[in-house]
Amino acid sequence: MSKTTLAIIAGVSAAAGSAATAAIFANRSQKKDALTTTTSLPPTSTSPPPPVPAPLPHPFKDLVSPVNPTGVFQYGFPGPINDLRPTLSTTSSFDRRTRNPYWVAEHITPESLNANNADRRHSIFVEDESIPEKFRAKLHDYFRSGYDRGHQVPAADAKWSQDALDQTFLLSNMCPQVGEGFNRDYWAHFEDFCRRLINHYPSVRIVTGPLYLPRRDPQDGKWRISYEVIGNPPNVSVPTHFYKVIFAEDGKTGGDVSLGAFVLPNAKIDNEKPLQSFEVPIEAIERASGLEFASNLPVLRRKKLCEQVTCSLLVRDYAERQKNLMGAAPPKKSGGAFPPPSR
């Protein structure tokens, strides 16, 4: 992917909001073609072998070094350390520098979502004591920050157990999110879209996380990454964007997996904005995040999610969604509520 292409995809800041996002994702077919042809995919069984590096000009193997740089490890390993945090309902990797997760993974099934054994009213936000104190996000960091404690794995996906639901309220599962118009609106509708995928797939895995993407400075035309930091002292980074990578599995051993990748700005988004306007190639998220999501998934098993189902939102009132989190059984969804796209 060229620098310009990635910058165009990445350059929607939280301040720019959904209007700028709409402009960037206009003419999607042309941009997706450009991304597809210029992106270096992760190595697969069909990829050519990596180039063999040229031999070094000097036979360093014959040299005896008078220094020992790795001797610093006797005082401790500097890092980075990615705190892997498994819970009943999530698995995540935590970024100590930003005090946000790199990614949080979940798994939903018809059985897990149809169970209703938990009540959100019994859950509270808590600091994750598995993260060293000096690196973890704290409750007071969010106090009067103007941002929601935004779930990466939503509480509604873990109602099969009160303990599982409670663990979604760990701050290691949170990032600062714009509340009105995003976390409580468009983002929540997007989470509901993911849940409705179980009407078509017996198993759905979702990886969610923050991004810190560049925007172009109108003064000098250069691209820079800039984001707010909240807390006292300021230490919790406010992501500019969020991503979701969706793996919708057909339930067969070695079967097909429908892949969907989306990037949304951390900003107010009009509920009328089409979800597919935020669809991007998975490689774009990998390059922006430094992560890999599907390197072990053969290309022949991959399907495009939005070619298998209609990628659209079902907008529901926020109060109604909260009722479903507080003990009310979720309404039954028929397959007709989520029809496949017209061919």
Active site residues: 151
Compute the distance between CA of residue 261 and CA of residue 294 in angstroms, rounded to an integer. 11
Rg (the chain; Cα; Å): 22
The residue to which tokens 């009943």 are assigned = 88
Compute the distance between CA of residue 244 and CA of residue 151 in angstroms, rounded to an integer. 12
The Cβ-side half-sphere exposure at 53, using a 13 Å CA radius, reads: 3
The residue to which tokens 């009213």 are assigned = 121
Taking CA atoms, 129 is separated from 102, 158, 231, 302, in Å, by: 18, 21, 18, 38
